[in-house]
Structure formats: C-alpha cells, structure tokens
C-alpha cells in the first residue's frame, strides 16, 4: 500500500464539486502560473513536490496526567465539539477548511464544505 488514494475513489468524491459553494470574491487564476512584479509569467511547477502535512481534527480535550495514565481500552475522552459539527482540516498546522467525514470504499475522507478565505489564511500566517 503506497498511501495514495485510488483514483476511482477520488473521482467519486470529486463528482460533487459543482455542488460546493464558490467564493465570488476570489479572483480565479491558472494554478500553474503566477505573475511576477515585472508582469512575466512564472511557472509554479517547482512547488508541486513540496511535502505538506495534512491533518483532520475531530475535536480537542485537555486531561490530567493521572487520567492519561489510567487510560486503557474502552476509555472515552469527551471532545469539545458536538456530533455533526464540521471537522477542521489543517495543512502544516494552519486551518485551511472545514468539512464532513465521508466513506470512500473502506477508508475515511473529508468532503470540504467551507474553505477559509485567502485573506483570512494570509492574516493567520504569523
């Protein structure tokens, strides 16, 4: 198993992409080019192999060390989110989007329902 999703499974998830809301305030630009200050096009292909850490968070909780040491099989930790609330998608520890859990074959996935705006992502960089 190579860790990459099956292309057929991805197709199934992406078929619904037309139903997702679009943000009219975002200027669409070709994903393979960007404009430099002098107006020339510069390819972004050199960024395609940059590894990114992606994580999906179901919720959070704080516990005491004594409770951690008592944990065993069947122990339940209460999280700060309610059932049905969206999951948070982080890329390199930065919130990028929210979505809902889906099953793709026998694997879990996330269907994005709300992508954080570009302005908000830039504001939260540092």
Can you name the residues that pair with 104 across neighbouring β-strands?
107
Q: Which listed CATH number (2.70.70.10, 3.30.450.20, 2.30.330.10, 3.90.226.10) goes with 52-126?
A: 2.30.330.10
Listed by start position, the domains of the chain span: 52-126
Contact 69, 83 (CB under 8 A): no
The pLDDT value given to residue 123? 77
For the CA atoms of 26, 27, 28, 29, what is the dihedral angle to 10 degrees?
Answer: -130
How many angstroms separate the CA atoms of 91 and 45, rounded?
19
Of the chain, the end-to-end C-alpha distance in Å amounts to: 37
pLDDT number for residue 3: 52
Backbone angles phi, psi at 123, to 5 degrees: -65, -35
Residue-level pLDDT at 40 = 53
H or E element that contains 68: helix 65-70
Kind and range of the H or E element at 54? strand 54-57
What is the value of pTM for the model shown?
0.58
Consecutive 10-residue runs of the chain (126 residues): their mean pLDDT? 54 48 41 53 81 94 94 93 92 93 93 90 73
């Amino acid at each position: 198993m190579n860790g990459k999703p099956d292309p057929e499974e991805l197709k199934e998830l992406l078929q619904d992409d037309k139903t997702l809301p679009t943000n009219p305030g975002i200027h669409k630009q070709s994903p393979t080019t960007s404009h430099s200050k002098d107006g020339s096009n510069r390819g972004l292909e050199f960024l395609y192999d940059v590894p990114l850490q992606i994580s999906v968070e179901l919720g959070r909780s704080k516990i005491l060390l004594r409770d951690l040491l008592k944990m065993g099989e069947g122990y339940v930790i209460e999280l700060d989110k309610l059932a049905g609330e969206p999951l948070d998608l982080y890329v390199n520890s930065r919130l990028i989007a929210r979505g809902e859990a889906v099953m793709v074959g026998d694997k879990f996935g996330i269907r994005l329902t709300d992508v954080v705006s570009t302005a908000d992502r830039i504001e939260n960089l540092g």
